[in-house]
């Protein structure tokens, strides 16, 4: 399968939206070449504002631009684009329900060699806890394009999580993505693998490995972490009776926690959580996925232990 980083979709999709007549503007913090907002700046120089290394300023400028009727997107790396400006996201963007889209790149452990300081593993939890914020975690390039388009077309704050690491193609066509909807990618009867982001491809590969051992795993892409697709999650949990969540994020506060909150209130179900439980370290992304048990082999091993 072809591999592309989800960040590659960012600038290209913003240009497409401007070409379609949408009043898009992007604000970046001196990382436009890495986040790909620079693609928009090259095509439409008046649509990109670079504030320098100042994420707090980036968020406040985006908030101000949104008040003039523009659809404001932000850049930066996820660890800085959420953590360094959390106060501005919380108190300026979300409290006022502004039309600002927080769309950083370089999220998760697969940032790789940049090490723990740059590997954002708390961002989904930080963002999904904020009132008015919606959270999308696309699995591949096409998913990222869809997430950016949904964010642009839907008023109010959004968090779209993108990465630097090239990931396999999960969707070979422009699939029908929607806010609040998950996608069942593989039917199964013994266990449900609920994954988001880079872990979707890993969960599909894990399901192949488990099938060789007689274990039937259903794989669901939880593309929309907030709002959750409650019907789809309750349906798969009812069908298999066991749920394993897989995310490139801390096991606390992220997609797994959101699923657990839903099941605890509506359908108590045995669960296992595949994710991070510590800070990361410096190594290539694929090496880190294996080291921390987030690759297909690690997921399959957790499922076998869980079912045993």
**What burial letters (b/e) apply to 242-261, b meaning 16+ CB within 10 Å?**
bbbbbbbbbbebbbbbbbbe
Phi, psi (rounded to 5 degrees) for 77: -85, 150
Q: Using an 8 Å Cβ cutoff, are 147 and 197 in contact?
A: no
> What secondary structure does DSSP assign to 160-208, as a single string?
E---SS-EE-S-SS-----TT--EEEE--SSEEEEE-TTHHHHHHHHHH
220: its two tokens:
């669901």
- Ramachandran angles phi, psi of 33, nearest 5°: -70, -30
Q: Provide the strand spans (E) within the chain.
A: 3-4, 24-28, 48-50, 71-74, 100-102, 134-136, 158-160, 167-168, 183-186, 191-195, 217-221, 224-226, 243-250, 271-276
Catalytic annotation, pick one of 8, 16, 55, 248? 55
CA 119 to mean position of chain CA atoms: 14
The residue with tokens 């045995």 is 270
Which tokens sit at 120? 């954002």
How would you write 55-84 as a 3-class SS string?
HHHHHHHHHHHHCCCCEEEECCEHHHHHHC
- Give yes or no: 122 in active site: no
What residues are annotated to the active site? Answer: 55
């Amino acid at each position: 399968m072809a591999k592309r980083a989800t960040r590659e979709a960012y600038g290209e999709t913003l240009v497409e939206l401007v070409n379609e007549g949408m009043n898009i503007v992007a604000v970046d913090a001196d990382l436009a070449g890495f986040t790909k907002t620079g693609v928009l700046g090259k095509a439409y120089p008046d649509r990109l504002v670079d504030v320098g290394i100042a994420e707090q300023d980036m968020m406040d400028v985006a908030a101000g631009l949104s008040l003039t009727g523009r659809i404001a997107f932000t850049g930066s790396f996820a660890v800085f684009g959420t953590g360094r400006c959390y106060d501005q996201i919380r108190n300026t963007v979300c409290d006022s329900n502004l039309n600002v889209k927080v769309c950083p790149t370089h999220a998760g452990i697969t940032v790789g060699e940049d090490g723990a300081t740059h590997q954002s593993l708390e961002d989904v939890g930080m963002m999904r806890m904020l009132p008015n914020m919606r959270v999308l975690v696309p699995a591949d390039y096409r998913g990222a394009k869809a997430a950016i388009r949904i964010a642009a077309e839907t008023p109010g704050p959004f968090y779209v999580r993108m990465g630097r690491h090239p990931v396999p193609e999960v969707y070979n066509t422009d699939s029908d993505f929607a806010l609040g909807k998950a996608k069942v990618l593989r039917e199964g009867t013994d266990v449900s693998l609920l994954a988001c982001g880079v872990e979707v491809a890993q969960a599909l590969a894990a399901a192949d490995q488990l099938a060789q051992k007689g274990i039937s795993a259903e794989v669901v892409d939880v593309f929309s972490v907030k709002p959750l697709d409650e019907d789809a999650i309750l349906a798969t949990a009812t069908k298999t009776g066991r749920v394993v969540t897989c995310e490139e994020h801390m096991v606390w506060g992220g997609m797994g926690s959101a699923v657990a909150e839903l099941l605890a209130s509506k359908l108590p179900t045995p669960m296992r959580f595949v994710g991070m439980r510590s800070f990361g370290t410096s190594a290539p992304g694929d090496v880190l996925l294996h080291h921390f048990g987030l690759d297909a082999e690690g997921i399959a091993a957790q499922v076998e232990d869980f079912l045993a």
